[in-house]
Amino acid sequence: MNYSVSKIGQILQAPVQFGDVVVSGVSFDSRQVKPGDLFVALVAQNDGHDYIEQALNHGAVAVLADNQHQIPSTIAAVIVPDTLTALQKLARYRRQDINPKVVAITGSNGKTTTKDMAAAVFATRYKTFKTPENFNNEIGVPLTLLTMPEDTEVLVVELGMDRFGQLSVLSELTLPDVAIITMIGEAHIEFFKTRANIAKAKLEITQGLKADGTLIIPFDEPLLTTAAINQSVVHFGKKISDIDENKAETSFTFDDTRFAIPLRGRYNIMNALAAISAGILLHIDTKDAAKALKHFDLTKNRTETLTTAHGVTLISDVYNSNPTAVAAVLATLKMIPSTHRYIVLGDMLELGEQTQKLHAGLAKTVIEADVDGVYLVGKFMGMYLYPILQQRFDSTHLHQYETDQLAELITDLQTLGENGDVILLKASHGIHLENVVNALVK
């Protein structure tokens, strides 16, 4: 971004101070400000206006502030009624100013992996930028738009949601040319109550989808395939063959092309097919897509394969969790050749009144995974799943920890297994099993 304070004021129709100052970036966290940034003083749990001085000390050259706060006349500033609304308006201008093809991705599971896959596919032909990390909400999406390079030809943007209306806002902000819904699961069912409501909320991604745009959805999800869509629709997931899984990758054949992705799990084939389908729409040859997917960069903690200090294979999938995701990753674990297999399952959050039922319902999935040890973390796993598994596993093979006992879990796992064994960790991000993963691979 290379806008003057005066230009930003014109975009936002807002008064400015020191309009000749030029900003080269944007940040809302004063600790992460880079020299030349516009510091956006958001008002949330903390009031960003309290950190303006710190942001300036770190190199910010101007601030976006609201008119409820007194901003010193010595500071370059844009003054608006609401800084979040202004941030979004500025981001939408940036999206239209650069005008890349936009591929927007949402879904209960797999959206980050699909984002990474799609970006790799598009990069074979276009200058491509993707959502950093998981910047997929009302703040993260604008930051993605504002930080994409000026020569971006394809933007792959991840859109998250946890309530009705959120995807409508993000879709209208990004104005996608292509929209992907990876799948409908139980994520956020605490708020939505039913999968049908989740599907309805996910379909809000079409709100900003261009009239000549395309929605890409799984062929086997009736909650999506029966919906009335104004734009064209492409179904993914059909016509695959020769699926093979080994310790390093999952391979399959699609459109007479052999694909091998550096991830375990048949569910990742669906993510790959969504990315491939988007690539085809933007004229990417499937053979080029296959080359891209063989070594694509995966965002951290999405089904990472790591190795512990004493040679045990560690599968880390600790960013989010729900029953569909747990079942999928345990089915994958069962297919991995190994001497012994162990699982660490943390609480699945945001399940609301279905929390007990869905945690207890994992028992059959866990038992069928045929593992040598089960380590449960969190009050829901302890209350609802642990008593059922006690009927199948003895105390040597079944363990339970509270969320404040991660140090004890780490100690127990550090001596667990040997070369040829596998430990899988799966939980919602709020359980913070990434701390366990980091300790085990030091």
Query: What residues are paired with 178 via a beta bridge?
Result: 103, 214
Do 212 and 245 touch, CB atoms closer than 8 A?
Answer: no
What is the distance between the alpha carbons of residues 321 and 310, in angstroms, rounded to a whole number?
27
Count CB atoms within 10 A of the CB of residue 193: 12
Alpha helices in 378-430 (DSSP H): 379-380, 386-389, 406-414
Q: What angle do helix axes 111-122 and 286-294 make, rounded to 10 degrees?
A: 120
The DSSP H or E segment spanning 260 is: strand 257-261
- Residue 111 in marked binding region: yes
Closest CA to 304 of 420, 433, 424, 159: 424
Count CB atoms within 10 A of the CB of residue 163: 10
Query: What residues are paired with 63 via a beta bridge?
Result: 39, 77
What is the distance between the alpha carbons of residues 123 and 120, in angstroms, rounded to a whole number?
5
Task: State both tokens at 276.
Answer: 């491939």
- Residue 112 in marked binding region: yes
Map tokens 């999506």 to a residue: 224
Map tokens 């694509």 to a residue: 296
What is the distance between the alpha carbons of residues 131 and 362, in angstroms, rounded to a whole number?
32
- Residue 110 in marked binding region: yes
- The backbone torsions φ and ψ at residue 311, rounded to the nearest 5 degrees and listed phi first, read 90, 10
- Tell me the binding residues for ATP: 107-113
Binding residues: 107-113
